[in-house]
Structure 1
Amino acid sequence: MKPDMMRISIRRRLLSLAAVAALVVTLMIQWPATAMASQAPFFAAMTDKMSAQAKGAEGKLQSAYGEITGDTGQQVKGKAKQVQASAMNAKAAVKDGAKATARKASDAADKLADKIK
């Protein structure tokens, strides 16, 4: 491939990467649910999941940038952010499971209390 064509190809990839990054940043802007988190725990859990997804997207973008530019440091940092996002997702799943178990126990206690009355 000619050097001019290679530069154009890299430039297009970087522009595409920049467009995806702009989209991710737009999606990462916190929305009003964070203000409502004290009123509804559902929104707090939602923001945890959104943070994990944003971190995963950031890691993928950083890793892709590293691949395009040949920078292994950026690739490694991107992969590390993806691992961090996986851990954040696991934490959110454990939290959701604990809440569901607590709800079931509460419902069972309510039913038992109704039978005793």
Structure 2
Amino acid sequence: MTTDRRTAILEGAARLIARRGVRGLRVEELAAEAGVSAALIYYHFKDRAGVLLRTLEFISDRAERYTAERGEGAPPPCHRRELEQSFLLELQDLSEVRENGIAWGELRASAVFDPVLRG
């Protein structure tokens, strides 16, 4: 699968989880959201649990990218300032940040009942 299709599937999964929760994620709806076939999703992710695991990794990586942003040439902040900055970057009024926060909460809450996600 091309990186573009994989990214489209993971972005679609994050959007659907943010809108409907983990229980609301249906592979057929994800396929429509991502513009791919359900068979392609099953082929590459094996099952719904595989989609959820890869989506959790995707949103974690995405959050790491936008919380690591610093002004070019800016000195590294002290530990407290770095923590404050990361927290503030998690509160940005951007759709990607809001979507990540909601999806992360949904996946974390589902992990309580799902041993596959718990790890």
Q: Which of the five TM-score ranges fits, normalised by the shorter chain?
A: 0.3 to 0.5
TM-score normalized by structure 2?
0.35
TM-score normalized by structure 1?
0.36
Q: Give the structure with higher Rg (CA).
A: 1
Q: Which has the higher helix share?
A: 1
